[in-house]
Structure 1
């Protein structure tokens, strides 16, 4: 079911690109926008450019991020790249503003679905997650800065009307993604389980976050339980939920929004 969701989400992204954005020289956010630029100004196909730009990032991400997340992201990038290569660029709407809004909304819908299936569409998301984990830098600020570069390039290569339409597209995409997925930057998970040690090992093996473990007693059953507490980024939520279910389908998990984090957010490297 997760793979089906990634396929559907990726194909929706392809439709947004080739049917609404690219015909009007409007770019998407992130590495996809750079792929569009290469497809417009060089003989290189947009789909092939998207794959070539994302491939090295995904290899790096495989080593530094959760394996399942990156494998799902690789699958999404492949679907998008092949789709952009095979689906012809065709203008659905004549109005550029409408195409920017609707193309951005379709792209956001597709990206949001892929996020909910524990993956990403690659590109700047991978870069942002790697930098944020190493430096604890706000990922939203980082992604906004990288997307600003795409807008400026669009203005110089094409015209500033295209750049402003690209800004509209990126803004709509972000809003739709937040609506479908979650707009919280960081989340706190409290996991109550009878399989504390197994859960600890499983999460630490697949998640680049630390854990705090406490002992607890069930109020009704009086049975001993473990309470695991961790803070994650929004991109990791579905992956972590799946990891928890793999160990204990009966685990009680409380997920809350985290306003601010002080101290080391990522797991310290072994000495």
Structure 2
């Protein structure tokens, strides 16, 4: 990504666009799928739906907004004011979309509804979190734990929901709760996928007797940086250099052909990476 695109990705219009689209998908999933089927979506929205189902006071969107307020205060104190301002927009957008949306998706089978609703909700949450804000709720706590301890946000969400659904089993029909769990699982998987789909790279280790030649070829022909590591064979004790580099998925095949053209006996490891931050790859996201 060139410098102009990097700057645009962090501009206010782009972040507002991501939050608007993500909020619409989240609101549609809740209002058009979860509510008609009586599902609990998990996280703060799940708590809002439980209150709505049993109190019949206010609307799901308003309950979600009210519950988000104290969490937003935590985000303001521990993340950044800019993050909370974007998140406040996301929270308001979800509430507004939920008040506007009045239709239900024509999915009658509960299992299919859980899968479809989870996919739409996960896509919406993932798109929102690609911005410098979020859709509020558990996303704020997830980002705190991600920044401080490296937990994946989808995993944080799923762990929190375990406690929520333990309570839900005592309040709702068992089948409804099980369908809701399927929806939450699909949500976490799709959200992680959306967050990583543009960031995944291949970490490559190359063990070869021609490490320097391969290294030079990668720099010149593949236009990728390399690092030479010192290694030693466990069986022979022979010292070797290990070439380490990172490429995207498109470059993998070209790199493979380049390596084995220079050394058919090379030992190569391709490993998936969740994210690569640095020159030529992703920019560090600062909230």
Measured against the shorter chain, the TM-score band is 0.5 to 0.7
For 2:182 and 2:99, how far apart are their aligned partners in 1? 25
Partner residue, 2:101: 87
Alignment partner for residue 103 of structure 1, among 117, 122, 137?
117
- Is the 2:142–2:156 contact (alpha carbons within 8 Å) kept by the matching residues of 1? yes
Cα displacement (A) at 1:183: 8.0
Q: Indicate conservation of the 8 Å contact 1:26/1:162, yes or no.
A: yes
Any idea what SS the aligned residue of 1:181 has?
helix
1:100-122 deviation digits (Å, cap 9, x = unpaired)? 11011110111111111222111
Please, which of 184, 190, 196 is the counterpart of residue 170 of structure 1? 184
1:56 maps to 2:70: yes
TM-score between the two structures when normalised by the length of structure 1: 0.63
Q: 1:82 to 1:93 in 2, by over 3 A?
A: same
Which runs of structure 2 are paired with 1:112-127 in the superposition (5 Å)?
A: 112-127=126-141
* Pair 1:144 & 2:158 matched: yes
Query: What's 1:8 paired with?
Result: 21
Counterpart of 2:91? 77
Question: In structure 2, do the counterparts of structure 1 residues 132 and 6 end up closer, same or farther at CA, with 3 Å as the change threshold?
Answer: closer
Q: In terms of mean alpha carbon deviation, does 86-95 or 101-110 score higher?
A: 86-95
Residue pair 2:31, 2:104 contacting (<8 A) in 1 also? yes
Q: Which residue of 1 aligns with 2:142?
A: 128
Aligned with residue 34 of structure 1, among 31, 34, 47: 47
Instruction: Give the root-mean-square deviation of aligned CA atoms.
Output: 3.0
Provide the C-alpha distance between the structure 1 equivalents of 2:99 and 2:52, rounded to a whole number of angstroms.
10
How many residue pairs get aligned? The number is 195
On the 8 A contact 1:22/1:89 being kept in 2, the answer is no
- Gapped regions of structure 1 (runs ≥ 5): 188-236, 242-250, 257-271
* Structural mapping, 1:196-207, within 5 Å: none
Quote the residue 1:234 is aligned against. Answer: none
The residue that corresponds to 1:44 in the other structure is 58
Structure 2 unmatched ranges of 5 or more: 1-12, 202-274
Which one has the largest radius of gyration? 2
